[in-house]
Structure 1
């Protein structure tokens, strides 16, 4: 099969198509504009907006997805080591990393459409034509066909269809990168909360152990007075009951502590059986987080960055749907060898080739392209609404955590007074009992109140740590040099 040389008309048409391919500015579709949101100048619950951030706080940087080693603000080397292990072992982070790699690969897939596509193939076939075909020159004959050739095609992106697809893929890859940062921030925050809970349980266990020792001494005193005929059996049983209740509460902490230890192990990607943390009698210092935080710190929240990038991707999808209304130019060339005898297959006369452009456009599709464009615009509007809602929710989280900080700080002062007062009352009741001025029921009552207040103080401390970790997470992390 031999093709004729292209005519002059073909040359003019080909040149005209190349001229179309060189046109600039043919970019149908809307330009991307970040959705507008109402951003206040300061947080309502931030206190003094003029308060400068302390040393160690890093100002916001737009599109900063690095949450930093913010947990170091707690000053606990054990927590630092656990967080480092989580960064490399957490399965949720690994999944998000794989999702990011997949999104980045899709950028390469979209970019590949810019380049020519080249295919090659070879075939051998036998074709026998029926003898009863009237007027057919090959009727009743068997024809052998051997061919091999190469086909190249290229579609110039005249109306930016490929460009919009690439932009969408890039934006989704950036959203996946922000998702990875968001998952990392959440996992690190969850580990910090579990670790704080565990250490608060250690602290509570120490306090309960001390109370058990105190109640043991009190019971010994009542036993001595009972043996001397001073105390009644009822008072002895009250002392025994109070001691055993304190022991039961102390033992009960072991279950919750084990659960926190198991949770930390899973977060780091190791089986709970292979991980343990020895109890430590220490009080973690509450970090100092600036109250006068500018609202621009929210720009570094990875979930907001991800939502904004998804709006950009949806906008690029609208551009791609708009490009479907314009024709596609395809430049193709084919060449190779073909013969009916294998011995002649590679000879020069057996060569064939074809080259030419094609401009293809859809004239009627029953409104399909219009509906696809409407759907793309609706998805963009939905993504914009998600972005605005993410921003609003972020402001709510920060305001909630700032409120928690202020309220819990005031509550902590009042609770400390309650602990001091109940402790003094318990000591005075014991002295009165030793002096014979009251019965043991007053001692039991005051000691029970003191125990409840001490445990309430520990729980309040845990809530304060949780509020601080939550505030850091709500602000996007990013602790570092200021």
Structure 2
């Protein structure tokens, strides 16, 4: 059971001065305010002293010129630079995150406004009468005019309003981190799609050369068959190999179109209005300095967002606990009332009031305690989510460091394999022309050469996309975000 609507301690008066004891009491209550609830402390999380997979990596230094705004320029691709510049302008996911951040900032201003008095101006006029109009009955009517200015203020005695402001501020900071995450995610996805498209172009060029070679091989086998030197099976094998390769080329054409469409959507364009012409692929893989694991907690926007949500949950505990204490409210008004407009602002017709009200819930079957328990459980959930985000971030960095190290070694081995396979293919074709081997041996050599070439291109693309993933895992740059 809760108390009825609170009544001001001081009733309305006309000309008597406000009691000084009430003013003293109000100031005493306001100045003795103390916030209930736990003070926020950033939760601890697993934090290794060094990355296991870093090995010979160069640590990041304050002199590093790169920041999270233009990390893609390290890949030295002017077309990629132009595409990335369109992310902030046209990407709709980023636009939605920007709007969410603006909404969170507006909520902070709204919560902060609740800590100040509310002042209102009221005015009105009424006409009333009585009597039935009979011979022996009295009748009459009159006017009444009122004008007053009033104010109310809820002193933040228990810190509820202050914690609401802090909670909204932490929420806005989490929203800002979400915006940074959305921007970094869109930038990384665009870079990966772009490099995948250039990889597809390189594979199509490789297949174009391969198709030319297979067409020449088919002509050789056809000529040998016409001269009764080779069997029909040689011609059929050459035809099968050529047709399969041409089919693979069409598959790459479909894959390239899908990547082009994805890039168009990322920069806010309709796929039908966007095209990227094939160009020579510049395989640039930048050296990425890696800082200490402790700096990752300051750079990663997803970690920042998770930590700020812990702060939000912490403030909610104090807000819930403040319900155990009475709500206090100050009210004051000053105005005039008269039966004639001309006499409305006369000093003899002024009215004022000043009051302090209090309301306290006496019994609600444990609902307040349940809300406090709910807030504490929500805080524990936010802490666990923060710690899991930190662990996942360290895993991302370790995974990409290991992948980068291995792919660098694989690229050199695949390069050697591709060169050797090309030589074997040429030697096998020469020996077939001389009648020393069957065409099956030629097909085997050609298939191996084609596979080695495609594997080399794949590894080169993987090194670029892994570099992008490592940059994202490091928070988008080498410097600590402001």
Partner of 2:28: 19
Q: CA deviation at 1:325?
A: 2.6
**Is the Cα contact below 8 Å between 1:297 and 1:475 reproduced in 2?**
no
1:334 aligns to what SS in structure 2?
strand
Confirm whether residue 74 of structure 1 aligns to residue 88 of structure 2: no
Seen in structure 2, the aligned counterparts of structure 1 residues 105 and 53 have a Cα distance that, compared at 3 Å, is closer
Confirm whether residue 28 of structure 1 aligns to residue 36 of structure 2: yes
Alignment of 1:389-404 (within 5 A): 389-404=388-403
1:356 aligns to what SS in structure 2?
strand
Seen in structure 2, the aligned counterparts of structure 1 residues 413 and 11 have a Cα distance that, compared at 3 Å, is same
Give, in whole Å, the separation in 2 of the partners of 1:2 and 1:129. 27
Alignment of 1:17-96 (within 5 A): 17-23=26-32, 26-48=34-56, 51-53=58-60, 57=64, 67-96=68-97
Q: CA deviation at 1:32?
A: 0.9
**Is the Cα contact below 8 Å between 2:90 and 2:267 reproduced in 1?**
yes
Partner of 1:111: 112
Partner of 1:192: 191
Q: CA deviation at 1:160?
A: 1.8
Alignment of 1:210-229 (within 5 A): 210-229=209-228
**Is the Cα contact below 8 Å between 1:28 and 1:322 reproduced in 2?**
yes
Q: How many residues align?
A: 465
Confirm whether residue 294 of structure 1 aligns to residue 304 of structure 2: no
**Is the Cα contact below 8 Å between 2:68 and 2:479 reproduced in 1?**
no
Q: Mind listing any 5+ residue stretches in structure 2 that lack a counterpart?
A: 1-10
Give a deviation string over 1:271-327, Cα, whole Å, max 9, x none: 11111110012232222224x642123121000001111111111121222233333
**Is the Cα contact below 8 Å between 1:128 and 1:141 reproduced in 2?**
yes
Q: Mind listing any 5+ residue stretches in structure 1 that lack a counterpart?
A: 60-65, 132-137
Partner of 1:62: none
Seen in structure 2, the aligned counterparts of structure 1 residues 370 and 177 have a Cα distance that, compared at 3 Å, is same
Partner of 2:316: 317
Seen in structure 2, the aligned counterparts of structure 1 residues 431 and 130 have a Cα distance that, compared at 3 Å, is farther
Give, in whole Å, the separation in 2 of the partners of 1:349 and 1:285. 88
Give a deviation string over 1:115-157, Cα, whole Å, max 9, x none: 11011223344556799xxxxxx99876654333222112222
Partner of 1:135: none
Give, in whole Å, the separation in 2 of the partners of 1:188 and 1:382. 30
Partner of 2:424: 425
Q: CA deviation at 1:163?
A: 1.1
Give, in whole Å, the separation in 1 of the partners of 2:429 and 2:286. 38
Give a deviation string over 1:71-91, Cα, whole Å, max 9, x none: 111111110110001121111
Seen in structure 2, the aligned counterparts of structure 1 residues 285 and 327 have a Cα distance that, compared at 3 Å, is same
Give, in whole Å, the separation in 1 of the partners of 2:30 and 2:351. 27
**Is the Cα contact below 8 Å between 1:43 and 1:293 reproduced in 2?**
no
Give a deviation string over 1:434-463, Cα, whole Å, max 9, x none: 111122221112112221222222223222
2:86 aligns to what SS in structure 1?
helix
**Is the Cα contact below 8 Å between 2:51 and 2:398 reproduced in 1?**
yes
Partner of 1:134: none
Confirm whether residue 3 of structure 1 aligns to residue 2 of structure 2: no
Give a deviation string over 1:250-284, Cα, whole Å, max 9, x none: 22211110110110010001111111110012232
1:332 aligns to what SS in structure 2?
strand
Alignment of 1:254-265 (within 5 A): 254-265=253-264
